[in-house]
A and B are shown apart, each in its own frame.
Chain A
C-alpha cells in the first residue's frame, strides 16, 4: 500500500508543476507588456527597474519561470496592483472565507444528497424515487448564480428575512451565519444533484447484486443490508464528494460574485475586473494547489477504505 502512496505523491508533483506553468504563462498570454501586467500604472522608474530585476524580465522565459517559482515557494506572490498589499495576505483571508462556504455547502450537499440517493435506491421505481431523482436532475441543471439571484429575490427583496450582501454588517457569529445561509444553499444545489445521482447509482449496483437480491427475497430488508450497501458505496461517494468540494471551491466564484461574499471567488472577480494579474495568479495557484492536494487526500483515503484499489 505504501508503494501506492509513494506513487501518488510522485505523480502529484508534476501535476503541481504543470499547474504552476499554466499560471505563470497567464502573465505572458495576457495582451500587452508583461511589466504592465504586474506593475500599477503610476509606478516610479525605480520601482519598475527593481521589479524587472526581481522577475528577470530580460532573461529567457525558463529562467523567469524558475525565478518566479522560487519566490512563490517562499510565499511571495507579489503585490496587488490595486491595493499594493502583498497578494498572499489577501488570498489567505479570502481562502478562509471560501473554505467556510465550501465546507458548509458540502455538508448540506453531502447530508441531503446521501439521504436522497439512498431513499431513491431503496424505493427504486416508486414515487419517492421519482421525487428524489427529480430533485437531483433539477439540482444538477440549475445555474447556481441564477439560483443565488432567485434566492435573493425571494428571501431578501420580497420577504426580507435574510441579508443579500457581504459577510456581515455587524460583528458576531450569528450575523456571519445569517449572511452565510443563502450563498450556502445556492452553492450546494449542483453538488446535491450530483451526489444524489451517484449515491443512487452506486447503491442500486450493490442492491442488484445477486446475493443481496437473495437476501431481500428472503425478506431480510434489514439494517444489515443497509449498512452493507452504505459501506460498499463509500469509495464512490468519497470520490464524488472530493470532486464536488473542489467544484465548490472553484465554482464559488460565481456565487460569491452574486452575494459579494468576501472569498477567493470575490477576489478573483475583482481581479478580473481590475486586470489585477498578480492577484489573479495568486488566487488560481493557491486554489489549484489546494485542489491537487485534496484529490491526493481523497485517493489515499480510498485506499484505506478499500485496499483493493492500491493493489493495482
Chain B
C-alpha cells in the first residue's frame, strides 16, 4: 500500500462564542471534533454531510487557513502544522483549495487573468511568464483567454467563475486539491460540465482530490472513497460503492435513502429521518446522532462510539457494530 498523500489525525476546532457585558466566552461551537482520515495519492475522497456539520471548517484546517486546537495534518509525510512560514509558503504550492462561492471568491477589481497570475507572482515567477501560464490555464479550463482574459468577475457566469477558481488553484501545479462545495452554487447542467472538467484534469495532472459536498449525487459521481460527517465527527468511511450499496451507520442509511429519486418505484411514503439537526454548540453527549437515531440504545449517550472496521476498507462509528468480530487475518 502506498503511503497516504494526506493524513489527518484527531483534528479538533472549537470556536468561542462571546457574549455578556465583558464579552467573555460563554459557549463553544464544536465545529470539528476528533476527525481522522487518510487520502491515498491519486484517489478522490468525498466528504459528505449536512450544512453545519463542519465540512468547510475541516477544509480550512487541512490547508492551515485556520489553526486547529488539536490534531495533526501530514502532507506527504510532512507535518503541516509545524511548518515554518517559509516552509508553509512552499507547501502551499502543493495543496490548493477551490472555494465554494463563485461570487465572493474572486477579487472584483482584478481581471481574471491577473487573478490567476497572482498566485504565480507571489511565488516569484516573473510577470511575463506568469501571465502566459495564466492564459494557458484559462484556456485549458474552457475560457478562451483572448475573449475572457481581461474580463472582470462580475461579467462572468457562475460556471465560468468556478472555472477561474479551478484555474487559479491549478496554476501552481499542486498535488492535492481540496474542493469545498465546488458546484453547489451552480445550475444542474453546469454542474455536470464542471465535474467532468475536474475529472479530466485529475487524470491529466495526476491529482488527488478531497471533495466536500452536501449533495449525494455529486459525491457518488466523483468519489473513490467517501467519508460521512455528522455534527463535526466522522461517522462512517468506506468506498463509494460500499456506502451506497450497504451503508452501515443509521445516519448514512438515512442520507442515501432520502435522496429524492425520479424513479417511481423508489419513492417513499415515510420520511427516513425526522427532527431538526441539533446545533454544534451543545451537541448531544456520546454519539451525536442519537437524538434522531431509530436504533438508539442507552449506551449511545454515555460515550462517543469508537470507529470499528466492518471490512478492510469500511469503518463505522456506531455501537450497533461493536460486537462484530475482527476479520481473521
Q: Which residues of A contact B (CB under 8 A)?
A: 3, 6-7, 10
Contact = CB atoms under 8 A, between A and B. Distances in A.
Nearest to A9: B21
Contacts of A10: 21
B19 to A, nearest CB: 7
The 3 closest A-B pairs by CB, nearest first: A6-B21, A7-B21, A3-B21
Contacts of A3: 19-21
Select the residue from B19, B21, B23 with max chain A CB neighbours within 10 A.
B21
A3 B23 CA distance: 10
Interface residues of B, number: 4
A10 B20 CA distance: 12
A10 B23 CA distance: 12
Interface of B: 19-21, 23
Contacts of B20: 3
Contacts of A7: 21, 23
Contacts of B19: 3
A85 to B, nearest CB: 42
7 contacts: A3-B19, A3-B20, A3-B21, A6-B21, A7-B21, A7-B23, A10-B21
A306 B274 CA distance: 36
Nearest to A5: B21
Nearest to A10: B21
A156 B242 CA distance: 96
A6 B20 CA distance: 9
B24 to A, nearest CB: 11
A3 B26 CA distance: 13
A200 to B, nearest CB: 28
Contacts of A6: 21
Contacts of B21: 3, 6-7, 10
Nearest to B20: A3
A3 B20 CA distance: 6
A7 B23 CA distance: 9
Nearest to A2: B21
A191 B19 CA distance: 37
Nearest to B19: A3
B257 to A, nearest CB: 38
Contacts of B23: 7
A64 B19 CA distance: 38
Nearest to A4: B21
A135 B194 CA distance: 56
A238 B19 CA distance: 27
A6 B22 CA distance: 9
A42 B20 CA distance: 56
Nearest to A8: B21
A311 to B, nearest CB: 10
A186 to B, nearest CB: 43
B291 to A, nearest CB: 27
B1 to A, nearest CB: 52
Nearest to B23: A7
B220 to A, nearest CB: 38
A10 B21 CA distance: 8
B111 to A, nearest CB: 31
A13 B97 CA distance: 46
A3 B24 CA distance: 12
B183 to A, nearest CB: 29
B187 to A, nearest CB: 23
A248 B21 CA distance: 33
A303 to B, nearest CB: 15
B133 to A, nearest CB: 44
Nearest to B21: A6
A3 B19 CA distance: 8
A312 B23 CA distance: 11
A245 B20 CA distance: 31
A307 to B, nearest CB: 16
A39 B138 CA distance: 77
A81 B323 CA distance: 94
Nearest to A6: B21
Nearest to A7: B21
A237 to B, nearest CB: 29
A16 to B, nearest CB: 18
A256 B230 CA distance: 69
A181 B307 CA distance: 83
B118 to A, nearest CB: 34
A3 to B, nearest CB: 6
A33 to B, nearest CB: 44
A13 to B, nearest CB: 13
A34 B21 CA distance: 41
A6 B23 CA distance: 11
A232 B23 CA distance: 29
A7 B19 CA distance: 10
A176 B223 CA distance: 85
